[in-house]
Structure 1
Amino acid sequence: MAGYYPYGGGSPVPPPPEQRASTALRTVLIVAAIAGVATVVAGLLIVFRSPEEYGLASNRDSLQVQAQPKPSGQPEQALFQAAPDVPPPLPEIKPAPAMLPSTPVRLVIKRLGINAPIKSVGLAKNGTIEVPPIDNHNLVGWYRNMSTPGEAGPAVLLGHKDTRTRSAVFARLPELRHGDVIEVKRQDKTTAVFTVGGVEQANKQTFPTQRVYGPQENAQLHLITCGGTYNRSTGHYTDNVIVYATMTSSYRS
């Protein structure tokens, strides 16, 4: 502690014990108060500069079931773009025969470091698809009103891009490329292996309903998360990122 200068100069003269204690206490309180204010200000600056990472909005994104397609930007790769009636992009590998229905239990994408449990979700009262709880960053939702992964037709899995405090399970979904491998472990102890055909980014106001939810002969897997720009006024992202994959093999776990 700095010395006490009773006359404004000279050698430091230690204060009496009681005064030393009270001075130390005042010093500690002042330093603590300054540090607290600095921490709060720094925290607010960080949050306001990156609202999408800290979930400032109380209502998180819902995925629209009904909309019309319109592909948009190309952030990091040449994204799939096509007219509304064009089917999903297919990988160059021949599709595997579809399997019997079985509830999905876990999603594994080794390239992205994803190994997440799957929760069954349905429709919310407003007609949108339910999404996994926002406070669980590593949980994927399977839309149970459609095919199970590995069954003929499109299986739809949903995941958050971020939560109120951190990035979430599908944060890196736009990094997937044509030919990447996705695995879905099922309740019947089989694993359906899917190969990515393409990735699309679509505005939420023009969501490609037919391409995502329309009937398909082969076993398809469609992964959906948020993308585009975070809109502070609505608390939502402007776009959806959609990964289209086809089952190309399977094995018993």
Structure 2
Amino acid sequence: MSGYYPYGGGAPVPPPEDKGGVALRTVLIVAAIAGVVTVVAGLLIVFRSPDEYGLASNRDALALEAQPKPSGQPEQALFQGGPDVPPPLPQINPAPPMLPSTPMRLVIKRLGVNAPIRSVGLAKNGTIQVPPANNANLVGWYRNMSTPGEAGPAVLLGHKDTKTSPAVFNRLPELKHGDTIEVKRQDKTTAVFTVGGVEQASKKTFPTQRVYGSQENAQLHLITCGGTYDRRTGHYTDNVIVYATMTSSYRS
């Protein structure tokens, strides 16, 4: 009915006051409001902790190396592998190895590196010698391994920094898969290497086989310090290793 007509006609008049009905409606309204508040609070809890309630989306869970820096640039994706895993290779065919020739100069255009190379051997404690600390731009070539461009791994070492300034390999961790490195040789040829990957490894678990193990193709491995600087020992905790494969060459 649209109204209450006690006498069969005229304007509608309100029904007689029902105190019990008013009280019941009040209780129902309060209960409805309380229910809405409870539902809203529950939804807020679920949305703040989606993993806990099985609502997380795969597109919200990016891999660590893909998380953007504040500048919007992606983090460097570092190579990881067990001690017996071979070094990472670029997605390009390797060039045929060349005859041995002493390396003279290292050029990494992306990092602004153009540095002379000096031959180094083993120190008295059995470790590979490093270039003198007073020459921040000098690179050492470990002469007991292959020359750059020759079949096998060629190993070049450089300082990350000195007591007073950054050194030649300070920006080495910035290299990425696909970047190129050039080594100018004594025979007037330049070997061009393409980066396959960059690894940061603890000095306690150095990947000896991956760095120094035999290879059929011409490989170039650049090594410097990384990780945390330990003031007690005066050394960094890790090594940064760049793995590259020779993909071309040209006559200088």
The answer, yes or no, to whether TM exceeds 0.5 is yes
Describe the superposition over 1:155-191 as per-residue Cα deviations: whole angstroms up to 9, x where unpaired. Answer: 0000000012100000000000000000000000000
Distance 1:152 1:213 in 2: 12
Structure with larger Rg: 2
CA shift at 1:248, angstroms? Answer: 0.0
Residue 218 of structure 1 corresponds to: 217
Does the 8 A contact of 1:224 with 1:241 survive in 2? yes
Describe the superposition over 1:40-99 as per-residue Cα deviations: whole angstroms up to 9, x where unpaired. Answer: xxxxxxxxxxxxxxxxxxxxxxxxxxxxxxxxx979411000111111000001000000
Number of aligned residue pairs: give it.
Answer: 181
Which secondary structure state, in structure 2, belongs to the residue aligned with residue 198 of structure 1? strand
For 1:1-253, what aligned pairs fall within 5 Å after superposition? 76-253=75-252
Distance 2:204 2:142 in 1: 20
Does the 8 A contact of 1:226 with 1:240 survive in 2? yes
Paired AA for residue 221 in structure 2: H
Paired AA for residue 141 in structure 2: W
Distance 2:77 2:179 in 1: 15
Paired AA for residue 86 in structure 1: V
CA shift at 1:196, angstroms? Answer: 0.0
Distance 1:240 1:89 in 2: 16
Q: Output the TM-score relative to the length of structure 1.
A: 0.70
Does the 8 A contact of 1:135 with 1:164 survive in 2? no
Which secondary structure state, in structure 2, belongs to the residue aligned with residue 138 of structure 1? coil
Distance 1:187 1:214 in 2: 25
CA shift at 1:100, angstroms? Answer: 0.1
Distance 2:225 2:82 in 1: 21
Paired AA for residue 159 in structure 2: H
Distance 1:247 1:167 in 2: 28
Where do 5+ consecutive residues of structure 1 fail to align? 1-72
Paired AA for residue 111 in structure 1: R
Distance 1:170 1:85 in 2: 26
Describe the superposition over 1:93-141 as per-residue Cα deviations: whole angstroms up to 9, x where unpaired. Answer: 1000000000000000000000000000000010000000001010000
% of aligned pairs identical?
A: 86
Which secondary structure state, in structure 1, belongs to the residue aligned with residue 137 of structure 2? coil
Distance 2:173 2:250 in 1: 27
Which secondary structure state, in structure 2, belongs to the residue aligned with residue 243 of structure 1? strand
Distance 1:139 1:111 in 2: 18
Paired AA for residue 225 in structure 1: T
Tell me the C-alpha RMSD between the 2 structures: 1.3
Which secondary structure state, in structure 2, belongs to the residue aligned with residue 245 of structure 1? strand
Distance 1:243 1:158 in 2: 11
Describe the superposition over 1:2-43 as per-residue Cα deviations: whole angstroms up to 9, x where unpaired. Answer: xxxxxxxxxxxxxxxxxxxxxxxxxxxxxxxxxxxxxxxxxx
Q: Which has the higher contact order (CA 8 A, sep 6+)?
A: 1
Range that drifts further, 76-85 or 127-136: 76-85
Does the 8 A contact of 1:179 with 1:196 survive in 2? yes
Where do 5+ consecutive residues of structure 2 fail to align? 1-63, 70-74
